[in-house]
Chain A
Amino acid sequence: MSNQINPSMSLAKPEANDLSVKQKLAVAFGVIGLLIFGLAIFNTNFPNKTLFLTISIGLITLGIILFAIDSYLTKHEGIKNDGVWFKSMSSRGILAWVTGVLLTSFYIILYFFPMYLGLSSNGEANTGLISLFDPLSKLLSGNPASQWFVYGTLYTLAILAFGYKFMLKYRHNRYEQLRTASVMFFQLGFAFLIPEFMSRLNVSPDYNLPYYDLKSIWPLNYYLFDSWSVNGLLSSGSLGLLMLIFGVISIFVVSPILTYKYGKRWYCSWVCGCGALAETAGDSFRQLSSKKLSAWKLERWLIHAVLVFSVIMTTALIYTYLGQDPNKFWLTRSAFLISVGLILTLIFSAVMLFKRNELGKDARYGSIGYFVVIAALFIMYYTGTTDEIFLIKSSSLRSAYGLYIGSIFSGVIGTGFYPILGNRVWCRFGCPMAAVLGFQQRMLSKFRITTNGGQCISCGNCSTYCEMGIDVRAYAQKGENIVRSSCVGCGICSAVCPRGVLKLENDSIKGRINSNDILLGNDVNLIELIKR
């Protein structure tokens, strides 16, 4: 037999995956809803925008809900992965490529050419798609819509409708249901409604609040410390100051405590908006992530590089900001730089002192390398070698980060490539917040995925459906707990396991990282022998 593996081993199309009448109807609703958006993009001037916006959003939502009901409620509770690798959409078929290209183009237009969506300039009225959303925007914030409002609305809609679908799919699994309800709540409330309502405050001259999604934490929220953002917050009375303080506390206090107790999943799969979209609209693509060892290596270098970039960029930004008016703040430039240096050194030496043996070889080289770079830059500044901190103007750093990381990586590639690369590309390879949380999860957290003695049959469902590309089976078949920085705790590996082998747990630190050569169930003497 040849080495060639037939992708599905299927000679004819498996009939079971044809659409039912109700599903065809649902698709029709959804497509008609989208068609209205399409017409709007080509500048159809709808007579009653409120009505047409309601109809299109209503039809799309109805389509998704009807489709989900007919897909899942007609069957018994249980795992619903039949035909995943036969369907064009979920196995990189023609539908997946078309969707990938459309999504990617949408992101490029959204970030770089919003005028094609109908964004006005010079205070004129919006046209096209954006004008279709004006009524809703005016209802919420009182302002006409922007491209970001259109995007935010569609984003929230996707999370709510596909979140409902996901809850039906996993209606036997309360962990999945609860965390989906949680991301739906945070998206609708914190990311969408609250910022819109807050901008109503800005009618009063005392307020100048920037758009601020309170659950979006630095360094994911890389613009929190931009001068316009800080200025806006500081010029908005005690509410603005409170929000800025909340932002700082989130990263330095709330996040470490929650990550210690529950792992990074408290954020990545219960709160975060990027995670919310990945887990709901992106659920059909989770099996596409690469499980190769080479992908894991790339991931480790890339995500930590982005983190270092974002730390340097933010440090430079705040440094520059503080310099604009030296007497304005209690925090001086040098005090700030020294404290950043101190915090980084503290974390670095604590890890090297207590957790040295848990780091892989390349992780050790990597962290030493990064530390040396940062230290060198500080030294250069203090010895007067350069006038610009970190060699480059902070504003150019900021705009480079915004373009390459904020727009291209997280949006165009991260979401546009869902149907090709899987639904967590950004979270796995690029998100600096995930890097911070993952680092703590690996080093100092009670969270792990426990494997159940010797029960694994190496079937591979867990690895296949891990959206972060973790080869879960490699651990499970060795009876070893899974303690990986990248694990977002979505719980799907545990759900799809046919033998009840995996369980997400928060338990004591002791015995969390274990390694067994001989699995439970064999001769006790042999197990003892191997342990020695």
Chain B
Amino acid sequence: MEHVVIIGNGISGITAARHIRKLSDKKITVISAESDYFFSRTALMYVYMGHMKFEHTQPYENWFWEKNRIHLKKGYVKSIETKNKTLYFSNGDILKYDKLIIATGSKPNKFGWPGQNLKGVMGMYHKQDLENLEKYAPNNKICKRAVIIGGGLIGIELAEMLNSRNIPVTFLVRESSFWNGVLPEGESAMINRHIKNHHIDLRLSTNLKEIISDENGKVRSIIIEETGEEIPCDVVGLTAGVTPNIEFIKDSGIETGKGIKVNQYLETNIKDVYAIGDCAEQHEAIGQRRPIEAVWYTGRMMGETLAQTICGNKLQYKPGHWFNSAKFFDVEYQTYGWVFAKLRKHEAHFHWKHIDDTKCITVCYNKITNEFLGINTFGIRMRHETFDKWLTEKKDVDYVVNHLPDANFDPEFYKHYEKDILATYTNKLQSV
């Protein structure tokens, strides 16, 4: 029986394992050094905030794995010998495979800041990071202030987490506005205000110079690059993006760039070795996507696709229309299609914002053909299926703005804003 070994029990690896089991009778082993069972990484924040216990983040009951004959092995893979298809573990264990799927995800970026390895300095990615945070920031007596470096999705989540325990937060963002490499100006500005409304000390266009240690090797303060200001703190969160977690394959002969290089079939340069999820890097970007997509959804889709290939139905990874979502404190965000922060050639944006400053949308379209290209929505839930259909049918922007009620996904009895949006849209057209 063919033995499929998967390194990594995150969403990519587990999706691959589940689908391989559905399609075949192969022997499956999933290896993880992080946790005994699959858990939802995106839910770790809710454990710290007390919304859930850790076991609630596990989507399957513990008996599920044995029942589906998916073997789970706890251990850290130290190196891979691809010639004789063998994995070597840090504790001396050895495991043979016939097909190998690498799905080891990411690790937080560290840009060589002085003091970046001090006690109390941490990312917010792994289960161990959460345990670390519990140790250094259990409450606002032990952690009098925390500083977060890096204004992305994990940074704002960490701010929300610390805020839930009344720990004062200083949030250093390199850019001139929160996440403005991704969000258009109006949206980014609204989120800036929303962050400040939650009493977060948001510092835009601000970089970290160094982290200062106390006598015990624990963080005491940080110094700001631009002003030289020293901010005393007990915890520093490093959330300036993530990098593929691939150290251990360095000497294996598997080709790497930033991540593990794969073709559209998710194959590496070595036969029978595949890579999926955050750690995979496409030789050539697919459509307008980035070569490395560190997103829950794409990890899952790669797992779904690769399972087909492994089980004899060779299939390219061809994701459909881009979509994503996040939550910024109390404001939900969804996106369908492409809305870039900076307008590309022939692109135009239609932006609408509600006066309460927690709801807005941005519609991106082609100025010449009027084709609808994508939408960002904040504080209004919209229907994935509807936008996927409109994008496939290449609807024009008039059609989309006029039919927004069809795409509404807010709970029943919620106030609707489509009329207001349409009126704003019509006014804009007239004034142009």
The chain A residues found within 8 Å of chain B, CB to CB, are: 1, 3, 5-17, 76-79, 81-87, 172-175, 178, 292-293, 450, 452-455, 457-461, 463-464, 473-474, 477, 491, 494-496, 498-500, 503-505, 517-526, 529
Contacts of A518 in B (CB 8 A): 304
Tell me the bound Cα distance from A458 to B18 in angstroms. 15
The smallest C-beta distance from A471 to any residue of chain B, in angstroms, reads 9
Given A458-B40, A500-B334, the answer on whether A82 and B411 have CB atoms closer than 8 Å is no
How many A-B pairs have beta carbons closer than 8 Å: the answer is 206
In this assembly, does B366 line the interface, its C-beta being within 8 Å of a C-beta of chain A? no
From known contacts A5-B54, A458-B40, A499-B334, infer whether A174 and B414 are also in contact, taking CB-CB under 8 Å.
yes
With A523-B305, A524-B320 already in contact, the answer to whether A460 and B57 are too (CB < 8 A) is: yes
In the complex where A498-B332, A523-B319 touch, is A503 in contact with B381 (Cβ < 8 A)? yes
CA distance A77 to B43 in the complex (A): 21
Closest to B321 in A: A521
Question: Which residues of A sit under 8 angstroms from B135, Cβ to Cβ?
Answer: 11
Give 10 A-B contacts (CB < 8 Å), ordered by A residue. Answer: A3-B36, A13-B138, A15-B141, A83-B49, A452-B384, A453-B323, A453-B388, A457-B296, A520-B385, A521-B323
B165 near A14 (CB under 8 angstroms)? Answer: yes
A532 to B356: give the CA distance in the assembly, Å.
47
For the complex, what is the distance from the CA of A520 to the CA of B382, rounded to whole Å?
Answer: 14
The reply to whether the CB of B273 lies closer than 8 angstroms to some CB of chain A is: no
Q: Report the minimal beta-carbon distance from B122 to chain A, rounded to whole angstroms.
A: 14
User: Within 8 Å CB of A504, what residues of B?
Assistant: 411-412
Chain B residue at minimum C-beta to C-beta distance from A17: B50
Q: Is B166 an interface residue (CB 8 A)?
A: yes
Shortest C-beta distance, A70 to chain B (Å), equals: 15
Asked whether B59 lies within 8 Å of A495 as measured between CB atoms, the reply is no
Residue from B300, B315, B382 within 8 A of A523 (CB atoms): B315
B contacts with A, residue count (CB < 8 A):
74
Which 9 pairs of residues, A with B, have the shortest CB-CB distance?
A453-B384, A78-B330, A15-B139, A500-B381, A459-B43, A12-B138, A83-B50, A174-B413, A523-B318
Determine the residue in chain B with the shortest Cβ distance to A6: B54
Cα(A82)–Cα(B198), bound, Å: 14
Within 8 A of A (CB), among B302-319: 304-305, 308, 313, 315-319
User: Which residues from chain A contact B332 at a C-beta distance below 8 Å?
Assistant: 498-500
- Given known A-B contacts A518-B304, A521-B301, A82 and B325 have beta carbons under 8 A apart: no
The answer, yes or no, to whether B142 is at the interface (CB within 8 Å) is yes
Question: Which of A3, A10, A82, A84 is within 8 Å of B138, CB to CB?
Answer: A10
B329 in complex: contacting residue of A76, A84, A460, CB < 8 Å: A76
B323→A14 contact, CB < 8 A: no
Q: Please, what's the 1-or-0 string for B349-392, where 1 marks a CB less than 8 Å from any CB in chain A?
A: 00000000000000000000000000000000111110010001
What CA separation (Å) do A84 and B49 show in the bound complex? Answer: 8
B46 within 8 A of A: yes
- Separation of A495 and B42 alpha carbons in the complex (Å): 18
Cα–Cα distance between A517 and B305 once the two chains are bound (Å): 11
Query: Which residues from chain A contact B43 at a C-beta distance below 8 Å?
Result: 457-461
Q: A458-B43, A521-B323 are in contact. Are A11 and B318 (CB under 8 A)?
A: no
User: Beyond A84-B50, A85-B53, is A15–B297 a contact (Cβ under 8 Å)?
Assistant: no
Contacts of B53 in A (CB 8 A): 5, 7-8, 85
Q: Who on chain A is nearest to B300 by CB? A: A519
Bitwise interface map of B from 384 to 420 toward A, beta carbon under 8 Å scored 1, else 0: 1100100010000000000000000111111100000
A5 / chain B contacts, CB cutoff of 8 Å: 53-55
* Distance of A82 Cα from B51 Cα, bound (Å): 6
Alpha-carbon gap, A15 to B411, bound state (A): 34
**Interface of chain A: mostly helix, strand, loop or mixed:** loop
Tell me if B138 and A464 are in contact (CB < 8 A): no
| Measured CA separation A142–B51 after assembly (Å) | 48
Note all chain A residues with C-beta closer than 8 A to B131: 9
| Chain A residue with Cβ nearest B60 | A474
> B54 near A9 (CB under 8 angstroms)?
yes
With an 8 A cutoff between CB atoms, is B94 at the interface? no
Q: Which B residues between 163 and 184 are near A, CB-CB below 8 angstroms? A: 164-166
Distance A499 CA – B50 CA, assembled complex (angstroms): 19
B-side interface residues toward A, CB under 8 Å? 11, 19, 22, 35-36, 40, 42-43, 46-59, 61, 130-131, 134-135, 138-142, 164-166, 197-198, 296-297, 300-301, 304-305, 308, 313, 315-321, 323, 325-327, 329-330, 332, 334, 381-385, 388, 392, 409-415
Contact partners of B304 in chain A: CB under 8 A: 518-519, 522, 526
Q: Which of B58, B316, B413 has most A Cβ within 10 Å?
A: B413
A523 to B197, CA, bound (A): 41
Is the beta-carbon distance between B413 and A464 smaller than 8 angstroms? Answer: no
On chain B, the residues within 8 Å of A517 by CB distance are 19, 22
What is the CA–CA distance of A508 and B131 in the complex, to the nearest angstrom?
47
Q: A16-B165, A452-B381, A500-B381 are in contact. Are A81 and B59 (CB under 8 A)?
A: no
Knowing A5-B54, A11-B135, A78-B330 are in contact, say whether A83-B164 is a contact too (CB < 8 A): yes
Find out whether the CB atom of A81 lies under 8 angstroms from the CB atom of B330.
no
Is A464 within 8 A of B139, CB to CB? no
Given the known inter-chain contacts A13-B139, A78-B330, A500-B332, please indicate yes or no for A463 contacting B56, CB distance below 8 A: yes
Give min CB distance, A96 to chain B, whole Å: 15
- Which of A16, A77, A494 has its CB near the most chain B CB atoms (within 10 A)? A16
Q: Are B320 and A76 in contact (CB under 8 A)?
A: no
Contacts of B325 in A (CB 8 A): 455, 457, 499-500
- Out of B22, B130, B323, B409, name the residue touching A9 (CB < 8 Å): B130
B264 to chain A, nearest CB (A): 11
Contacts known (A460-B59, A526-B304); A14 close to B50, Cβ less than 8 A: yes
Query: Are B320 and A464 in touch, CB under 8 angstroms?
Result: no
User: Is the Cβ of B61 less than 8 Å from the Cβ of A293?
Assistant: yes
Q: Are A459 and B301 in contact (CB under 8 A)?
A: no
Question: Which residues of chain B are within 8 angstroms of A81 by Cβ–Cβ distance?
Answer: 49-51
Besides A460-B43, A522-B305, 14 new A-B residue pairs in contact (Cβ under 8 A), listed by A number: A1-B36, A5-B55, A11-B135, A15-B165, A76-B197, A82-B51, A82-B164, A84-B51, A174-B413, A458-B59, A460-B56, A500-B332, A503-B411, A523-B318
Report the Cα distance A473→B334, complex, angstroms.
Answer: 19
Min Cβ gap A183→B in Å is 15
Q: In angstroms, how far is the closest chain A Cβ from the Cβ of B4?
A: 19
In angstroms, Cα B57 to Cα A458, docked, is 8
Query: In the complex, what's the smallest C-beta–C-beta distance from A128 to chain B, in angstroms?
Result: 41
Complex Cα spacing A409 to B186, Å: 56
Is B47 in contact with A9, judged by CB distance below 8 angstroms?
yes
Given contacts A459-B40, A521-B319, contact A452 B134 (CB under 8 A): no
Decide if A454 touches B315 in the complex (CB within 8 Å).
no
Q: CA–CA, A292 to B321, complex, Å? A: 36
In-complex Cβ contact of A464 among B22, B56, B141, B415 (8 A): B56
Chain A contacts of B142 at CB under 8 A?
A: 12
CB atoms of B385 and A453 under 8 A apart:
yes
Contacts of A7 in B (CB 8 A): 53
- Residues of chain B within 8 A (CB-CB) of A524 are 320, 392
Pairwise interchain contact A458-B305, C-beta atoms closer than 8 A: no
Instruction: Check A86/B50 contact, CB under 8 A, given A173-B411, A498-B332.
Output: yes
Say which residue of A459, A495, A499 sits within 8 Å of B46 (CB atoms). A459
Closest Cβ neighbor of A90 among chain B residues: B50
**A445 → chain B closest CB, angstroms:** 15
Task: Report B114 CB to chain A, min CB distance, Å.
Answer: 29
Q: Is the pair B320, A453 in contact by a Cβ cutoff of 8 Å?
A: no
* Chain A residues closer than 8 Å to B56, beta-carbon distance: 460, 463-464
Report B176 CB to chain A, min CB distance, Å: 25
Distance in angstroms from B228 CB to nearest chain A CB is 32
Which single residue of chain A is at the shortest CB-CB distance from B35? A1
Q: How far is the CB of B160 from chain A (nearest CB, A)?
A: 10
Q: How far, in whole Å, are A84 and B325 apart by their CA atoms in the complex?
A: 25
Contact between A455 and B321, CB atoms less than 8 A apart: no
A522 and B320 in contact (CB under 8 A), knowing A76-B330, A82-B50?
A: yes
Residues of A within 8 A of B300 (CB): 454, 519
How far apart are the CA atoms of A82 and B334 in the complex, in Å?
A: 23
Considering residues B42, B130, B415, which has the most beta carbons from chain A within 10 angstroms of its beta carbon?
A: B42
